Chain A
Amino acid sequence: DQQVKQNSPSLSVQEGRISILNCDYTNSMFDYFLWYKKYPAEGPTFLISISSIKDKNEDGRFTVFLNKSAKHLSLHIVPSQPGDSAVYFCAAAYNQGGKLIFGQGTELSVKP
């Protein structure tokens, strides 16, 4: 039972444009959501998080949007850079610091 889903296994974007990565979840008890970036054979790197009491959190080029009624969150990267090319995982937790449940990942490719 996949509680966190990233339905797009890959995404290709032109440098300078916006990258939008999507994530859906099924459990309304999740209270905290995170995005991680991962390169092959490396551990994930934390990017940005959002609490369920918010609908938006911004950090530089990265913005996470949360739509609780739709059980959907998205990560916007503006402007996209070639160095952003990696696999992006969304994750959900029942509380901050709790165990994470990951989506399957979306491989982003930003072309110069």
Chain B
Amino acid sequence: GAVVSQHPSRVICKSGTSVKIECRSLDFQATTMFWYRQFPKQSLMLMATSNEGSKATYEQGVEKDKFLINHASLTLSTLTVTSAHPEDSSFYICSARLFKVWTSSGTDTQYFGPGTRLTVL
């Protein structure tokens, strides 16, 4: 259980184009999903928190008009990188929050997708 998928796994695009990345929770519903990016040899940096049916909350320094997030259903969130430039090249990872209410203490954990490697030429 708790499987999260991302599509595509790799994308190469020309500068100025827009790229959409999908994040799906396959066997559970997630009211909250998160989007991260990771540069080589660096940590994962949170970009935004995506809540189903409402606007995403962006971290400081992340351009909301450049990184459009839509969370239209309980199993799907999308990240669109608009007018991509070479500096947007990175590894983008989503996670979905799962709250296991049936356990004795309850656990609330993020499960991550496999990531999307974006290369902008």
Taking a contact as CB atoms under 8 Å apart, the answer to whether A105 and B43 are in contact is: yes
Taking a contact as CB atoms under 8 Å apart, the answer to whether B34 and A100 are in contact is: yes
Q: Please, what's the 1-or-0 string for A76-112, where 1 marks a CB less than 8 Å from any CB in chain B?
A: 0000000000000100000011011111110000000
What chain B residues lie within 8 Å of A34 (beta carbons)? Answer: 109-110
Our count of residue pairs bridging A and B at CB distance below 8 angstroms stands at 55
Whole-angstrom distance between the Cβ of A54 and the nearest chain B Cβ: 10
One of A45, A49, A103 near B112 (C-beta < 8 A): A45
Whole-angstrom distance between the Cβ of B95 and the nearest chain A Cβ: 8
Question: Secondary structure at chain A's binding surface: helix, strand, loop or mixed?
Answer: loop
Interface size, chain B (Cβ < 8 Å): 27
Whole-angstrom distance between the Cβ of B97 and the nearest chain A Cβ: 5
Taking a contact as CB atoms under 8 Å apart, the answer to whether A99 and B46 are in contact is: yes
CA distance A37 to B42 in the complex (A): 14
Within 8 A of A (CB), among B81-118: 91, 93-95, 97, 99, 106-115, 117
Q: Please, what's the 1-or-0 string for A20-36, where 1 marks a CB less than 8 Å from any CB in chain B?
A: 00000000000000101
Residues of A bordering B, CB below 8 Å:
34, 36, 41-46, 49, 89, 96-97, 99-105
Residues of B bordering A, CB below 8 Å:
4, 6, 32, 34, 42-46, 49, 91, 93-95, 97, 99, 106-115, 117
